[in-house]
Structure 1
Amino acid sequence: METQEITAAEAPAHPRLRENIWHIRASSDAALLITSDSRFEVGTEDALRFLKMRSHCTGFHSVEEIAQRSGLALDDVRSILASLEEAGVVFSSPAERADLDRVRAALLSICKIWSDELRLAYIGNEFRHGSLPKTALTGWLCEMYHYISDFPLAIEHGARRAEGRLKDVLVRYAQQEKHHDEFVVRTLENLGLKRDEVKGSAPLVSTRAIGLLMREMFEHEPCSVLLMAALVEAQEFQEEHIAGFKQCMHETYGAPLDAFDPFFEHQQIDVGMGHAELLADNIDLIDVTDMERLDGMVNRLHDLKHAFELQSLEIRDYYTNLNGKYFPRQRMRFSSL
């Protein structure tokens, strides 16, 4: 996707924005703006000024109100919005139905964008730098155990509501994902946890929320299972990066060099099965054009993206400083009252 420059056009009176993702570094002269169909370079100062008003571009405020709420000059707000309008970032009223080719292209694009964003912010990256304690490392793996255990059950929830070839694809996908939690249990055993304590632990609330949100989305639109696969499945297996990660885990956390072998065996299996390509390979099974249904599906997928980000925050919060919290997290039972 080629990076473009933004020029100016006229913006609507009550502006609302399309999905826009910004990568801004204060040390760089240019920021990167990503939309579902383009990338733009924007001066860093202009990008930072825009962020002051972005929060108020919800479609409920006039340009004058945006200027007042953000503290920017009215002419500056108009100028920024005009540039964003030219870039296609300012939202325009949609038709009741969408063009199917446009739907499929947009969903493929946004799944790639959000998947990249999740990888950039993934808590697993922090362990490579040794910035979190070992309790957070094992806590993260416990949450992966619970999530991976639940994932095929959520897919089956969607498969029960699907028909035809979509149903066949989802049933096969669920079957292929079953028992993959065993790879994580073996990894945790290699790090010193007991099998029974892993299986008897309780997921964090954010991990449970991911399962509930998946079921809600799959129930409304079974084809959204394919979007989920594009969002979360590993896309490549790079042995040199994995070797570096295992060496870092050994040096930083004292993990045996082979401790993560089961974890990465699971990743290799998923990559080999082509789960990350399920959406692209079956894009013809995306046949939703009703705008209300599309809005609901995309909103739920966006909620799931943020649920994974929330999970990283909760893992960091719960497992970094235990301060007497149970490790791993335990289920609450009536008999304990």
Structure 2
Amino acid sequence: MTAVIPQPDIIDPLAELDYPRLRHCTFRELSSDQPMLMIVGREHFEISEEEGTRTALLTVKRYLDGRHTIPEIAKLSGVDEASVRQIVSTLHEAGLLRRETPTEYIPGDVFAAQIDASCEMWARQIGFHHLFADLEHGDLRREVFLGLILETYHYVKSAPKHISTAIAHCRDERLVPLLSEYFVDEWNHAGMLLGSLVQMGVPEEQVRSAHPIIGTWSLVNNLCEIARQDTLSYIACTSLFEARADDFEGGAASMRRAAVAAGFPEDSVDPVIRHMGIDVQAEHASLIGQATRILGDIPGRQAHVVVNNLHDLKHSYDQFHDQIVQYYSDISNYIPRVKVDYFSL
């Protein structure tokens, strides 16, 4: 008979100090004279400058990836080893270093709660993009605000494409009814954004024939690829891109302020806000909870796939917003964007 040696539930809590790795987080700088925020899920920590600089701390953070020892981090960052050890020790005591718990399955409710908390963090990080603050402050051309609504129209119009892809590639029939109901809810919402664009002065036929910018195509194609690869990942993504009740009022007020700053009527964005409200009422951001109640425990290996896909999608949104600023800030670009045909060559 082969003896079975019990494995500890948690690896030695000091082991990660040899190759420290930070939990996934967001750093937020409000101003140079205020503490920097470190956001981890629904928690946030204020980091004040008592010794050293923010630049030094962020440089050390770059190497807290689980691939470098403390002496290596000190050498690469240019921060003395004693200071690096102090930083790592402080992060460890605050529970901010990654600590792996070997597990074959994760309880469904625990998994859903963690995904929801992480998506709340990432959704707000998406909202930190300078596009939104610059629009509210009137620091960008009015065409950039128009472009945001126009590209969002293209994105919302693509919903049947990525939802149907998820249904077609669903490997667990128990999830098909959930996805099918979601498809029915979302298939024709683009018309509301079309209404806003018409109120903003864009002829309807120009909106319908407009060609999305590449950042929008990339975002939509990433969603379709995730839907092909892993159904649970796609459902988890809805927690990231669907409107949340807690953020609705603030998001609506921000949208109206940006419209006015860009020189459009405040009520021109009412159809966009109405679309957000419908999604909130339908509780589409909670689909991951519904899915895990159907599936039960989630295999640990699949959980990692879901999280990585979500993280990639978060950066797709960053790229989407980057390119809206880039394309619609150029005074020479066609708005709405037109297709290039053979006779244009």
The aligned counterpart of 1:133 is 141
**Match 1:73 to one of 52, 72, 80:** 80
Instruction: Structure 2 unaligned segments of length 5 or more: list them.
Output: 1-12
What is the CA-CA distance between 1:92 and the residue it aligns to?
Answer: 3.5
**Change beyond 3 A, Cα 1:75–1:240:** closer
What is the CA-CA distance between 1:206 and the residue it aligns to?
Answer: 1.4
The aligned counterpart of 1:143 is 151
Q: Which moved more, 1:33-42 or 1:148-157?
A: 33-42
Matched, 1:215 2:220: no
What is the CA-CA distance between 1:75 and the residue it aligns to?
Answer: 0.6
| Letter in structure 2 aligned against 1:277 | S
What is the CA-CA distance between 1:67 and the residue it aligns to?
Answer: 0.4
In 2, the alpha carbon distance for the partners of 1:83 and 1:247 equals: 41
**Change beyond 3 A, Cα 1:118–1:165:** same
| Letter in structure 1 aligned against 2:38 | L
**Change beyond 3 A, Cα 1:122–1:178:** farther
The aligned counterpart of 2:207 is 198
Matched, 1:31 2:36: yes
Q: Given that residues 288 and 294 in structure 1 are in contact (C-alpha distance below 8 angstroms), is that contact kept between their aligned partners in structure 2? A: no
SS where residue 17 of structure 2 aligns?
Answer: coil
**Counterparts in 2 of 1:127-276, with a 5 A limit?**
127-162=135-170, 163-236=172-245, 242=252, 245-246=255-256, 249-250=259-260, 252-276=261-285
- Can you list the C-alpha shifts for 1:267-309, whole angstroms capped at 9, x where unaligned? 2222222222333444424656334322222111111111111
The aligned counterpart of 1:3 is none
Instruction: Structure 1 unaligned segments of length 5 or more: list them.
Output: 1-7
Matched, 1:116 2:124: yes
In 2, the alpha carbon distance for the partners of 1:84 and 1:239 equals: 35
**Change beyond 3 A, Cα 1:315–1:45:** farther
Matched, 1:300 2:300: no
TM-score, normalised on structure 2?
0.84
User: How many correspondences in the alignment?
Assistant: 327
Matched, 1:332 2:340: yes
What is the CA-CA distance between 1:37 and the residue it aligns to?
Answer: 6.7
Cα root mean square deviation, aligned: 2.7
**Change beyond 3 A, Cα 1:156–1:241:** closer
| Letter in structure 2 aligned against 1:274 | E
- Can you list the C-alpha shifts for 1:45-98, whole angstroms capped at 9, x where unaligned? 568242121112222222111101111001111111111122232223452624
SS where residue 41 of structure 2 aligns?
Answer: coil
Q: Given that residues 16 and 99 in structure 2 are in contact (C-alpha distance below 8 angstroms), is that contact kept between their aligned partners in structure 1? A: no
What is the CA-CA distance between 1:188 and the residue it aligns to?
Answer: 1.0
In 2, the alpha carbon distance for the partners of 1:102 and 1:142 equals: 38
SS where residue 210 of structure 2 aligns?
Answer: coil
| Letter in structure 1 aligned against 2:90 | S
**Counterparts in 2 of 1:281-296, with a 5 A limit?**
281-285=290-294, 287=296, 289-296=298-305
In 2, the alpha carbon distance for the partners of 1:56 and 1:308 equals: 25
| Letter in structure 2 aligned against 1:111 | C
In 1, the alpha carbon distance for the partners of 2:266 and 2:159 equals: 28
**Change beyond 3 A, Cα 1:234–1:38:** closer
| Letter in structure 2 aligned against 1:21 | T
Q: Which moved more, 1:53-62 or 1:97-106?
A: 97-106
| Letter in structure 1 aligned against 2:20 | P
SS where residue 260 of structure 1 aligns?
Answer: helix
In 1, the alpha carbon distance for the partners of 2:36 and 2:71 equals: 26
Q: Which moved more, 1:165-174 or 1:287-296?
A: 287-296
TM-score, normalised on structure 1?
0.86
What is the CA-CA distance between 1:244 and the residue it aligns to?
Answer: 7.5
Identical-residue share of aligned pairs (%)? 26
Q: Given that residues 170 and 225 in structure 1 are in contact (C-alpha distance below 8 angstroms), is that contact kept between their aligned partners in structure 2? A: no
What is the CA-CA distance between 1:223 and the residue it aligns to?
Answer: 2.2
| Letter in structure 1 aligned against 2:204 | R
In 2, the alpha carbon distance for the partners of 1:96 and 1:245 equals: 43
In 2, the alpha carbon distance for the partners of 1:315 and 1:241 equals: 19
The aligned counterpart of 2:23 is 18
SS where residue 17 of structure 1 aligns?
Answer: coil
Q: Given that residues 122 and 309 in structure 1 are in contact (C-alpha distance below 8 angstroms), is that contact kept between their aligned partners in structure 2? A: no
SS where residue 267 of structure 2 aligns?
Answer: coil
What is the CA-CA distance between 1:132 and the residue it aligns to?
Answer: 1.4
In 1, the alpha carbon distance for the partners of 2:199 and 2:94 equals: 51
- Can you list the C-alpha shifts for 1:136-172, whole angstroms capped at 9, x where unaligned? 1111111111100112320111122333442111111
Higher relative contact order (Cα pairs below 8 Å, separated by 6+ residues)? 2
The aligned counterpart of 1:314 is 323
**Change beyond 3 A, Cα 1:145–1:301:** same
**Change beyond 3 A, Cα 1:290–1:330:** same
In 2, the alpha carbon distance for the partners of 1:57 and 1:200 equals: 48
In 2, the alpha carbon distance for the partners of 1:253 and 1:34 equals: 31
